[in-house]
Structure 1
Amino acid sequence: MSTLRDDISIGHLNEIGQEYLPGALGLEMVELSEGSLKSRMPVKKLHFAPNDFLHAASVVALADTTCGYATVAHLPAGATSFTTIELKSNHLGTVKEGSIACHATAQHLGRNTQVWDAVVTDEGTGRKIALFRCTQMILWPRS
């Protein structure tokens, strides 16, 4: 049984974030499939901390947005939205130029919660930059 909504496309996911943080950071969703979403972010000066290393918040923004958009694409029928209730990241490295990529995969797609893992890599070399996990609470209409 597919949990991927047929009314959500890559174009829609890229469009909804244009005037928000994902658009400002240059995030791009690139591939949506059952239980999976891939994205990328070209690295610019705005993604760095004053010490000239990639800011952890930039990496988390890519991973969290990718997992969040994946949740939107996998919401159960009748659900209205979701909210992140927990996230964790382990940062393993950095990049100085190029782009970073993210691959989010569903670990649990329940009626009330979803758990997503994401791996952020240097897009050019495939080297892991960060490991990320989040739990999403599914929101339902109030009765």
Structure 2
Amino acid sequence: MDRKFFNKPSLETLNQMGKNTISEVIGMEFTEIGDNYLIAKMPVDHRTHQPYGLLHGGASVVLAETLGSVGAMLMVDDSKYACVGLDINANHIRGVKSGWVYGKTTPIHIGKTTQVWQINITNEREQLVCTSRITMAVINK
């Protein structure tokens, strides 16, 4: 998709938005912003583990939802519109015990009232860990 972000803040601004939220608690950090994609990383450690010592699927969904929601927000004039989640799904492909995972979100559909974003999460060896899709509603403020 060729549509570019309406707003393109700095990485510092994106990371500041996560202060005092779940993003900060689990150590998520935006690392790259393109014309229409975002990349963030998340540690795989005690904050994001499930009881068996693997990356918790819910932590992957938090990363996916954060990336898709922020991507959607950057596609609209946020003085007029807000983007809220309608649906998210995730397929967990591979377990991760430690290190970092990296999520990249790209738009599939950018409409006037809905957006659909694809999020792929990979490990440090660039192997797919989780694939997710989020549908966002675009509403008037």
| TM-score normalised per structure 1 | 0.90
Does 2:97 align with 1:96? yes
Deviations 1:46-82, CA, capped at 9 Å, x for gaps: 2111122211001111111111111111114653311
When the two structures are aligned, how many residues end up with a matched partner? Answer: 140
Superposition CA RMSD, Å: 1.6
Distance 1:46 1:12 in 2: 24
Distance 1:48 1:2 in 2: 36
Which residue is equivalent to 1:61? 62
Q: 1:121, CA displacement in angstroms?
A: 0.3
Tell whether the 8 Å contact from 1:30 to 1:40 is kept in structure 2 after alignment. Answer: yes
Q: Structure 1 regions of 5+ residues with no counterpart?
A: none
Tell whether the 8 Å contact from 2:116 to 2:133 is kept in structure 1 after alignment. Answer: yes
Write out aligned runs for 1:1-143 (5 A). Answer: 3-6=4-7, 8-76=9-77, 79-122=80-123, 124-141=124-141
Counterpart code for 1:119: N
Tell whether the 8 Å contact from 1:43 to 1:97 is kept in structure 2 after alignment. Answer: yes
Tell whether the 8 Å contact from 1:76 to 1:111 is kept in structure 2 after alignment. Answer: no
| TM-score normalised per structure 2 | 0.91
**Identity across aligned pairs (percent)?**
24
